[in-house]
Amino acid sequence: MNTLQEYWDACLIRSWRRQLSLLDAMSMFLSLTGKRIDECELLRVPLDNIPWRVGVRVFTAYHLPKINDRLWDQDPEKDLALLRKLQKSKYNTEKTEYRTNADRDLANERVKNRRNRMKNTYSLNEAINRNSATDWNVTKGAAKIRVKRK
């Protein structure tokens, strides 16, 4: 490997395969090159507001989705080809909104449940009122007990 960018991409891929954190990837880069990632002009580095303890898979899923999809789809034997392809690429971290579709779906479900609860309450009250008009204050007696004959 010749450039610092190649080392950083290799650290990202290796950390992704081993399910390590960003801090592990950064320390791996520091041990290989002797430089920290903020000292170098690198592409595909974490943004300032990302915690270092977050996993590399989470980081790539949010900020490098093309690389993440490629790593999921291909075997580890093809990582070297991906590394070569990344050297020609200017692909960088994307700023994405952290509010996911799952959050939006959960909020929609809450509204729907609240609406259904109100409907159920209304229909329950309506049923009570409807039945109270026909209730003649009749109470049922105890059930008959059957005795087995021998």
Q: Exposed (0-12), middle (13-18) or buried (19+): which is 82, by Cβ within 10 Å?
A: middle
Handedness of CA 95, 36, 43, 19 (dihedral sign): negative
CA distance linking residue 94 with residue 62, whole number of Å: 8
The gap from C-alpha 130 to its chain's centroid, in whole angstroms, comes to 48
Task: Work out the angle between the directed axes of helices 56-63 and 22-33 (0-180°, nearest 10).
Answer: 100
Q: Where are the domains of the chain?
A: 4-88
pLDDT in tens, 25-74: 999 999 999 999 989 999 999 987 788 889 999 999 889 999 999 999 99
pLDDT in tens, 86-103: 999 999 987 665 555 667
Which pTM does this prediction carry?
0.62
- Token duo for residue 43: 């592409």
